[in-house]
Amino acid sequence: MSDLQDSGLAAGRVTIFRNSPDDTQTRQIKVYLDGRNRGELMYGDSMTLDLPPGAHVLRVDNTWNHKDLAMEVRPGDELQFLTKSSAGKFVWFLLGFLGAGPMHVSIEPLPSRPPQP
């Protein structure tokens, strides 16, 4: 039995997408929930995590930098986020010639519909 089932609380669900056309489409983005590595996303991937109600911290890290997002999850929530790696003009030059360069990572909420009863 999972910790969520043991607690008796309805789980919330968080889905993270990595499919923005503005993404550099290089390198992985690692996903952490409350400090625990939950996997990585390559361009076009998504990940869904069930978690208990309460305060949580979602971190995305592309190994050049990271962003943290604090969130409050309520029972039955279905939250969705978009993460991407992005680069400035000079970085595109480095990516083209060296295959690597510093990129920024971001995470932003997507519109979510309330759960259906």
Is residue 80, in this structure, part of any structural domain at all? yes
CA 49 vs. chain centroid, Å, equals 10
Is residue 61, in this structure, part of any structural domain at all? yes
pLDDT in the model for residue 8: 54
Is residue 59, in this structure, part of any structural domain at all? yes
pLDDT in the model for residue 82: 97
Element (H, E) at 81: strand 78-86
Structural domain including 104 reads 3-110
Is residue 116, in this structure, part of any structural domain at all? no
3-state secondary structure of 104: strand
pLDDT in the model for residue 79: 94
pLDDT in the model for residue 98: 52
52 contacts 11 by C-beta, under 8 angstroms? yes
pLDDT in the model for residue 64: 83
Dist. CA 48–CA 38, nearest whole Å: 10
Number of domains in the chain: 1
Is residue 115, in this structure, part of any structural domain at all? no
pLDDT in the model for residue 9: 61
108 contacts 114 by C-beta, under 8 angstroms? no
Binned average pLDDT, 10 residues per bin, the chain of 117 residues: 51 95 90 98 97 96 92 94 82 52 81 58
Is residue 10, in this structure, part of any structural domain at all? yes
CATH of the domain at 64: 2.60.40
Dist. CA 79–CA 112, nearest whole Å: 6
pLDDT in the model for residue 103: 73
Is residue 50, in this structure, part of any structural domain at all? yes
Model pTM score:
0.77
3 contacts 52 by C-beta, under 8 angstroms? yes
